[in-house]
Amino acid sequence: MKIAWFKKVISPEIGAYLAGYSLKDKSVAKLDDLYMTGLCADDGERKVLLVSFDLLGLDEGYTREIRRSCAEILGIGECAVMFSCTHTHTGPETRTLAKAPQQLNKPYLEQLRSWILDEVSNLKDFRECSVYFYSSKCDENRNRRYVTACNRATFTPHRREVVPTATEYADKELGQLCFLDKATGQPLYVVGNYAAHPLAGHSPGLGGLRISADFPGAFRRYVTSETGAECMFISGAAGDLVPKEDELGSDAIEKMGRNLAKAAIGGLVDCTRNPLRFRMDDAKVGAVSKFVTVPLRKHKVGTLQNYYAGKTALDLEMQAVSIGDVCFVGVPGELCCELGQEIKWNSPFRRTWIAYNSTGYLDYIGHANMLVAGGYEGSAQLFTARCGLALLETAADAMFELREKLCPSEGDEMYPDCVTPPLVDIPAGR
């Protein structure tokens, strides 16, 4: 395995309108820079490119066009280029689905296009490396929905006193890929994946008006400062998840980012000391995309803009990109954590992580019962109740096809089929 990477500041000018909350939110300061981070992995036969943006979301058409251009530069298929947005609410407006499309920052998007293509064109100095994976549980998020005994949902950011009683599901997994220099064993690159809206720092007043990458930025800074490795953060299925200390300002940003980063460094310690368990020898890369047509809810028809205008159903892309026995699943919007967990459970890969707002930005996507219970996410969803199930099945089809392509099954039964491991299987170290 060889890797190359890039890191580019993509902060807008102070004074740019910010995506996320009020349409009147215009930036007045910058707390920290926004970044575009890219990682290209080459197994000798195939390449894949992962790019993470400190942005709230990007349109499907814009994303697909630039992915296609990146693929042409690298000589790979479009499905092997995965974009993902961390979903910071203190970045520029980059979605046409915004309530005020006139605030779409078109000059910024043109500049972003140029930055992406320049960085991909200049990828070089591929480094030979060993690849490790790790997974740990980090209690840094919570579900922002409180659902009553009669199945009615309350959006807790608007009723903060009920937060202690909210017990809806939250995915606590911090996933990480670690690339170590083949010659020296030193960390070269770390990819972290965790599910929570980047809203730790979005306090009332100044906190919501400062350009910031929020806790993903703090995570990257700490990992790099303590290990020397470059770092990427990919948001997981965070549709209904927020930081445990949400909307409390810069201290909450640093606290959450550092706690996740320290867990990632601990994971780096453990995986490198136990290579038999966590090193992926002869890791291959690959990619598959599949589309599914999903109807819009009747009251949402006619509300969409630009190339969605007049449509009653949309073709949604589910993308699977793997590095070794780890698979990233790219989703077309703000997937809620329950569906993200279903995708993980139905994966044939050893570890599977969601790439948030990846194949486009199409608002919230939750499970069917979310439309029964109501609440913010259910009310915002564009698609009919079976959308989540359709996306889950499409993702599973993509993952199984990809796994079979990279590691063909022997005999009639498709992998996985755990016929040999013992009932108690706690692998030895080293």
Tell me, what's the pLDDT at 98? 65
Tens of pLDDT, residue by residue over 104-131, are: 889 999 999 999 999 999 999 999 999 9
Lowest mean pLDDT among 20-29, 298-307, 399-408: 298-307
Q: Which residues pair with 136 in a beta bridge?
A: 174
Q: What is the pLDDT of residue 419?
A: 64
Model pLDDT, residue 342: 98
pTM of the full predicted structure?
Answer: 0.96
Give the pLDDT score at 100. Answer: 66
- Among 21-30, 44-53, 57-66, 344-353, name the one with the lowest average pLDDT: 21-30
Using the predicted structure, report yes or no on whether residue 418 has a pLDDT greater than 70: no
Mean pLDDT of 8-32: 93
Q: Which residues contact 136 (CB under 8 A, 6 or more apart)?
A: 173, 174, 263, 266, 267
Q: Could you tell me what percent of the chain has a pLDDT over 90?
A: 87
Is residue 99 over pLDDT 90?
A: no
Q: Is 234 exposed, middle or buried (0-12, 13-18, 19+ CB in 10 A)?
A: buried
pLDDT for the residue 56: 96
> Is 300 in a helix, a strand, or coil?
helix
Q: What is the mean pLDDT of residues 369-376?
A: 95
Kindly give the pairing relationship between strand 230-235 and strand 187-194: parallel
Q: Which 3 state secondary structure label does DSSP give 284?
A: coil
Structure confidence by residue, pLDDT tens digits, 273-303: 999 999 999 999 999 999 999 999 999 998 8
Q: Which token pair is 284?
A: 């291959």
Buried b (16+ CB within 10 A) or exposed e, 282-307: ebbbbbbbbebebbbeeebeeebeee
pLDDT at position 131 is 98
The predicted structure's pLDDT at residue 97: 73
Q: How confident is the model at residue 408 (pLDDT cuts 50, 70, 90)?
A: confident
Q: Mean pLDDT across the stretch 145-150?
A: 95
Average pLDDT over residues 386-409: 95
Chain-wide mean pLDDT for the chain? 94
- What pLDDT does 243 receive? 98
What is the share, in percent, of the chain residues with pLDDT greater than 70?
97
- Whether residue 102 is predicted with pLDDT greater than 90 in this model: the reply is no
pLDDT of 378 over the 80 cut: yes
pLDDT at position 234, please? 98
Inter-helix orientation angle 215-227/250-273, to 10°: 40
Instruction: Give the residue-averaged pLDDT of 238-258.
Output: 98
Round to whole Å and give the CA distance between 419 and 258. 41
